[in-house]
Amino acid sequence: MTTKKEQRRLKIKCRVRNKVSGTAQCPRLSVFRSNKQIYAQIINDETASTLVAASSLGMEKMPKKEQAAQVGEAVAKKALEAGISSVVFDRNGYLYHGRVKEVADGARKGGLKF
């Protein structure tokens, strides 16, 4: 059973996903945040495969926003090693502020182009 808040996020997610999809040339950087962790993965929607992923699991204890920035930098580093330089950002129905924005800024700082 989903709450109203979850239903709203899923509705926004579907609306965004109709416009945003990842290709081999420009894959999609998707962000998921839970209450304790944050996850980012780069996805090729044509083959439905995850190319690169990073998360805050196993990171040292620090404020969540700092963790999110480090996850963004980590996913950017892995993407550049895999030969991916530009992505399209998928905020996954979340508002673009706080931890989601920190992931995006960290990925930009790491060298990814949106």
3-state secondary structure 64-86: HHHHHHHHHHHHHHHHHHCCCCE
Instruction: CATH number of the domain at 17, please.
Output: 3.30.420.100
pTM confidence score: 0.89
Domain that holds residue 76: 4-110
Per-residue pLDDT tens, the chain, 114 aa: give them.
779 999 999 999 999 888 888 888 899 999 999 999 999 999 999 999 999 999 999 999 999 999 999 999 999 999 999 999 999 999 999 999 999 999 999 999 999 998
Count up the domains in the chain and report the number: 1
Taking alpha carbons only, the member of 40, 34, 60, 64 closest to residue 52 is 40
